[in-house]
Amino acid sequence: MNQSINIIEVEGLSKKFGDFYANDNLNFVVKQGEIFGFLGANGAGKTTAIRILCGLSKPTSGKIKVANFDVYKQTEEIKKNIGYMSQKFSLYEDLTVEENIEFYGGIYGLKRKVLKEKTNELLKKLKLEDKRAKLIKEIPLGWKQRLAFSIAIIHEPKIVFLDEPTGGVDPVTRRHFWDLIYEAAQEGITIFVTTHYMDEAEYCDRVSIMVAGKIIALDTPDGLKKTYKSQNMNEVFLQLARTEE
């Protein structure tokens, strides 16, 4: 892993909705190829921050660079360099596996030939070759998730944002999913992932924990466990969430 380059730089990020601070002075950097866990309870401000990093919404203040592009002025550039997958995994149910791949590859401007190769490669990797003409609604949830992830990185982005990508699936399926994430990280894609599941937090290189719009802890999972004298990430999280309340 090349962890010398900063791929995301956030300095003093704040986002205000009226009088309410959804994000309050966030500061962090994410290194290239890192798996960065972005944790927090519902309503802690994770989604707001992700939307800003993806160029969907402008911050109230702060200096933020994503893939070395400015979030105020260069959102078009940012969009070309990131992938995104959310909890609703955004594949079209009434399109086939292959059509979904083609569609999403197409909107990222992949050339027809490249796209064909990529499609075959991807189907092979996911062992979905015999299901390429199946409608998405006919394939199981776990497959859908992995397919959605593979599609989110089909244009070889520098960063992929995963907003609670594993909602509603069992631990075994989650584990399979994380194999794919590791593989992508090995290839140099930076992973920015939010999750509720503390077992997933253990898989991350570094983890930030957000409570009420602020980042109150940021370290490796082991570091966090040591600092808060906990057995696992779950305890860390509960401690932190409690102290803030």
Site residues (vs other proteins, CB under 8 A): 54-58, 76, 79-80, 82, 84-90, 92-95, 99, 102-104, 106-109, 161
Please report how close the Cβ of residue 93 comes to other proteins at its closest, in angstroms: 7
Q: Residue 28 contacts by C-beta under 8 Å, 6 or more apart in sequence? A: 8, 10, 208, 215, 218
110 CB contacts (<8 Å, ≥6 apart)?
Answer: 118, 154, 155
Which residue, among 140, 221, 130, 220, has the nearest Cα to 176 in the 3D structure? Answer: 140
Answer for the pair 142, 131: CB distance below 8 angstroms, yes or no: no
Helix 141-152 × helix 112-125 angle, to 10°: 140
To other proteins, the closest distance from the beta carbon of 231 in angstroms equals 35
CB of 172 to other proteins, least distance (A): 24
Q: How far is the CB of 237 from other proteins (least distance, A)?
A: 26
Give the contacts of 225 (CB within 8 A, at least 6 positions apart): 231, 232, 233, 235, 236
In the bound complex, what is the minimum distance in angstroms from residue 235's beta carbon to other proteins? 32
30 or 136: whose CB is closer to other proteins? 136
| Token pair in block for residue 188 | 């140099």
Smallest distance, Å, CB 106 to other proteins?
A: 3
- In the complex with other proteins, the residue whose CB is nearer, 107 or 172, is 107
Angle in degrees, CA 107, 109, 113, rounded to 5: 115
Cα 128 to Cα 97: distance, rounded to the nearest angstrom: 9
What's at 47, amino acid-wise?
A: T
Choose between 155 and 174: whose C-beta lies nearer to other proteins: 155
**Bridge partners, residue 143, by sequence:** none
Q: Are 138 and 96 in contact (CB under 8 A)?
A: no
Specify the residue, 88 or 125, whose C-beta has the smaller distance to other proteins.
Answer: 88
Nearer to other proteins, 65 or 155 (CB): 155
Shortest approach of other proteins to residue 167 CB, angstroms?
Answer: 11
Q: Which is nearer to other proteins, 90 or 230 (CB)?
A: 90
Residue 9 identity (one-letter amino acid): E
Of 20 and 92, the one with the shorter C-beta distance to other proteins is: 92
Q: In angstroms, rounded to a whole number, what is the distance separating the alpha carbons of residues 169 and 177?
A: 10
